[in-house]
């Protein structure tokens, strides 16, 4: 017997975002997207290397004394500083907002990120599919930046999508609610052509809902809309050096 969905406070933006973030990998896994743990692996490697450096330095200092290990300790401090700087950059500059990386069944690369900057193209080259989300202060809107890239192509198609959390969260009189998976999946299918293509091919049912039924549902809970930006609907070249 499966456990009932956990309830959250629907007025808490972090809870709404985190619960939605957690639902994305499960849905994509059901569509046979292959998840990559590259970001987590790099973070763990940097963390372990920093810990190992500190541990070795402590053991040698305890065993031989500071004076005998002064040179090694100086080098170790520099290495530890470098590793922690790299880890901080990785968490806040690269990994920030990411909730998923992987590969679509047809090999198409997708990169979804809330941030702009040159590094986004580097990530697109390295990963097959990446999802990142963000919210704005006091705004109950879920936002995604999407980059898609066809196999063997360096052309990147970039667009933004957003929708109110109320589209896929229920709520009761106490201000508590739970995520309803079907509307969230339907929003992704409607807004991300790659997901719609895979969902239709798999026949998961998210695309089986009629347009009239979807409009009726959206009229009561808010609709997902694509955010108009200069990059929407255009292909951005990813230059390989």
Flag whether 167 is in a domain: yes
Q: What is the pTM of this model?
A: 0.70
Flag whether 99 is in a domain: no
Q: Do the beta carbons of residue 236 and residue 156 sit within 8 Å?
A: yes
Distance CA 72, CA 55 (A): 13
Check residue 232 and give its pLDDT: 36
Flag whether 61 is in a domain: yes
Q: Are residues 169 and 214 in the same domain?
A: yes
Quick count: other Cβ atoms within 10 Å of Cβ 210?
Answer: 8
Give the pLDDT mean for 222-231.
Answer: 38
Q: Do the beta carbons of residue 206 and residue 134 sit within 8 Å?
A: no
Q: Are residues 118 and 184 in the same domain?
A: yes
Q: Are residues 155 and 58 in the same domain?
A: no
Give the pLDDT band of residue 35 (cuts 50, 70, 90).
confident
Check residue 41 and give its pLDDT: 94
Expressed as residue numbers, the domain containing 186 is: 8-33+104-237
Q: What is the pLDDT of residues 56-78, one digit of tens each?
A: 999 999 898 888 888 999 999 99
Give the pLDDT band of residue 3 (cuts 50, 70, 90).
low
Q: Are residues 45 and 132 in the same domain?
A: no
Q: Count Cα neighbours of 57 within 13 Å in the Cβ-side half-sphere.
A: 17
Q: Are residues 26 and 136 in the same domain?
A: yes
Q: Are residues 26 and 44 in the same domain?
A: no
User: Residue 120 contacts by C-beta under 8 Å, 6 or more apart in sequence?
Assistant: 111, 113, 147
Flag whether 178 is in a domain: yes
Boundary-marking domain end, from 92, 117, 135: 92
Q: Are residues 45 and 21 in the same domain?
A: no
Q: Do the beta carbons of residue 144 and residue 160 sit within 8 Å?
A: yes
Q: Are residues 23 and 61 in the same domain?
A: no
Boundary-marking domain end, from 48, 66, 92: 92
Distance CA 92, CA 200 (A): 36
Q: Are residues 141 and 46 in the same domain?
A: no
Q: Are residues 148 and 221 in the same domain?
A: yes
Check residue 118 and give its pLDDT: 36
Check residue 59 and give its pLDDT: 93
Q: Are residues 120 and 228 in the same domain?
A: yes
Q: What is the pLDDT of residues 100-132, one digit of tens each?
A: 777 788 888 766 655 433 344 334 343 445 565
Q: Do the beta carbons of residue 20 and residue 168 sit within 8 Å?
A: yes
Which of the pair, 239 or 113, is modelled with greater confidence? 113
Q: Are residues 122 and 167 in the same domain?
A: yes
Range name among 44-58, 117-131, 186-200 with the lowest pLDDT average = 117-131
Range name among 8-17, 51-60, 132-141, 198-207 with the lowest pLDDT average = 198-207
Flag whether 98 is in a domain: no
Residue where the block lists tokens 């991300």? 192
Check residue 193 and give its pLDDT: 86
Mean pLDDT score of the chain, rounded to an integer?
A: 76
Check residue 220 and give its pLDDT: 40
Boundary-marking domain end, from 72, 92, 112: 92
Distance CA 178, CA 65 (A): 57
Give the pLDDT band of residue 205 (cuts 50, 70, 90).
low
Check residue 45 and give its pLDDT: 97
Give the pLDDT mean for 213-222.
Answer: 40
Give the pLDDT mean for 78-91.
Answer: 94
DSSP secondary structure string, 167-220?
A: GTB---TTSEE-B-HHHHHHHHHHH-HHHHHHHHHHT-STT-S-HHHHHHHHHH
Number of structural domains, the chain? Answer: 2
Distance CA 152, CA 110 (A): 13
Check residue 67 and give its pLDDT: 86
Q: Which two tokens stand for residue 148?
A: 């898609």
Calculate what percentage of the chain has a pLDDT beyond 70: 71
Check residue 185 and give its pLDDT: 93
Flag whether 1 is in a domain: no
Give the pLDDT mean for 22-29.
Answer: 89
Flag whether 26 is in a domain: yes
Calculate what percentage of the chain has a pLDDT beyond 90: 32
């Amino acid at each position: 017997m499966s456990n009932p969905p956990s309830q959250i406070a629907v007025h808490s933006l972090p809870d709404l975002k985190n619960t939605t973030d957690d639902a994305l990998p499960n849905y994509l896994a059901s569509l046979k997207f292959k998840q990559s743990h590259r970001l987590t692996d790099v973070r763990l490697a940097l963390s372990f290397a920093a810990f190992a450096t500190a541990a070795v330095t402590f053991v040698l200092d305890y065993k031989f004394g500071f004076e005998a290990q002064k040179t090694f300790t100086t080098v170790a401090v520099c290495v530890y500083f470098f590793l922690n700087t790299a880890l901080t950059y990785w968490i806040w500059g690269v990994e920030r907002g990411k909730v998923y990386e992987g590969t679509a069944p047809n090999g198409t690369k997708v990169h979804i990120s809330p941030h702009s900057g040159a590094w986004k193209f580097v990530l697109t080259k390295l990963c097959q599919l990446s999802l990142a989300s963000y919210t704005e202060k006091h705004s109950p809107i879920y936002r995604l930046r999407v980059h898609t890239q066809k196999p063997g192509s360096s052309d990147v198609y970039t667009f933004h999508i957003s929708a109110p959390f109320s589209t896929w969260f229920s709520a009761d009189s106490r201000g508590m609610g739970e995520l309803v998976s079907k509307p969230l999946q339907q929003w992704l299918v409607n807004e991300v052509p790659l997901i719609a293509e895979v969902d239709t091919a798999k026949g998961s049912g998210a695309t089986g809902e009629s347009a009239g039924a979807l409009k009726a549902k959206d009229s009561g809970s808010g609709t997902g809309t694509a955010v108009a930006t200069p990059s929407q609907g255009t292909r951005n070249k990813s230059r390989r050096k």
